[in-house]
Amino acid sequence: MTVTATPVTAPSVHVRAAITWLAIFPMVALGMTVMAPFSATWPPVLRALALTAVVVPSAVYVVVPRLLAAHHRITHSHR
């Protein structure tokens, strides 16, 4: 018996954009809320720098890959 692997196709760019937004938006909203008490007097660029220094790596290395894996499980579970 020969087993052939089915190639995994990446989701469309539109699905990846939506998944990335679903990861980034709540992280930014939560980050802004958490940072507000101690960063209110900071210049906006410094607030953005601090927030993105945490959100972007977290999203790229943890959240988006997990959401993509969940998307894959959901879309391929019926096969």
Q: What is the pLDDT of residue 5?
A: 65
Q: What is the pLDDT of residue 1?
A: 63
CA distance 65 to 46: 28
Q: What is the pLDDT of residue 2?
A: 67
Which pairs from 45-53 meet CB under 8 Å and 24+ separation?
Answer: none
Residues of the chain with pLDDT under 50: none
Q: What is the pLDDT of residue 4?
A: 67
Whether the CB-CB separation of 16 and 23 falls below 8 Å is answered with no
Q: What is the pLDDT of residue 79?
A: 55
